[in-house]
Homo-oligomer: A and B are copies of this chain.
Amino acid sequence: MTIQIRIERTTAPKPRPQASELGFGKYFTDHMFIVDYAEGKGWHDARIVPYQPITLDPAAKVFHYGQTIFEGLKAYRTETGQIALFRPDMNMKRLNRSNDRMSIPAIEEELGLEALRQLVLIDKDWIPDAPETSLYVRPFVIATEAALGVSPSKQYQFIIIMSPVGSYYAEGIKPVSIYVESEYVRAVAGGVGHVKTAGNYAAGLKAQEGATEQGCAQVLWLDGVHRKYVEEVGSMNVFFRLGNKIVTPALTGSLLSGITRDSVIHLLRHWGLEVEERLISIDEVTQAQKDGSLKEMFGTGTAAVISPVGSLYWQGEKLTIGDGSTGELTLRVYETMTGIQTGRIEDPFGWRVALD
């Protein structure tokens, strides 16, 4: 397949924000990618156009039935001035798993990757270069058919937008406190928690409000069936260091298969460490905290890369993990992951994909 992407460049480039103003997902670059889908015609008219509003019929299915999926990855300017993505093929594969679950037609992986490459390069001056900043890339698909029957849409748009994002840890990597959620449930096996679809996130807002009220940064989700197995932390996967073993929840169908998770598992095993993917109950975690075997805990995800957990709030008690500071393994994983991503260190795995 030769991939044709029509390009219409902006004639009115926007002023770029200062590194200090960036935050997360507040500013958007000059261009966006769009490709349309129509039943019978397939995906067609791939184009890069000036960043612009989307115009939809108020009956578009995305508004009513939530048929939509998304991805998230980052483009970095490496130490040597190259522009790179981190494992973008994994994002395209997951995007198609999400599409399949949400009854959205698949998108050719090569089209997605080529769109990412061309779009990032066109807006490459938007990649911030202060330490630990990056360009966040957001591919998403929305169902655009204007019809109120509950059935798969006959029309879609696959869109990619990009946002320069600031350092997650402006003052250095710092542990967060986490609220163990016992009332709300994020997802259940048989549902859609294992894919990246919009509804999963709105469903979690209420729990997040509760966590914030308790002074916590994020929620630790427990499974919806037994209400005891640990699933994810906020929008991140989660790892525990129990003695010298590392444990992370198995992919049981209700949690997302994070690309950072996969990379961290590889990395730890590459270092010769033992990693178990299995069920881990909140009782096991709190017991290990009490007997001192829970040494470290951290979340993994594209936004923060690694997020150390300093304490857990559970049944009215605050449980400090280790001495409450960032654990040594956590820090090593963080340094190595961000090092590989930004080209500060060698990439033995072929994860960093240079675009130019």
Contacts and interface: CB of A to CB of B under 8 A. Distances in A.
A58 B70 contact: no
A202 B65 contact: yes
Interface string A38-54: 00000000000001111
A169 interface: no
Chain A contact residues, majority secondary structure: loop
B197 A59 contact: no
A245 to B, nearest CB: 30
A273 interface: no
A56 interface: yes
Contacts of A26: 147-149
Contact of A58 (B159, B188, B203): B159
What band does the interface of chain A fall in when counting residues whose beta carbon is under 8 Å from B?
Answer: 35 or more
Interface stretch (A136-144, A305-313, A314-322): A136-144
A188 B188 CA distance: 7
Interface string A218-238: 000000110100000011000
Contacts of A54: 55-58, 60, 63
A184 interface: yes
A167 interface: no
10 contacts: A25-B59, A28-B58, A54-B56, A63-B68, A66-B200, A103-B202, A188-B225, A192-B202, A199-B202, A224-B225
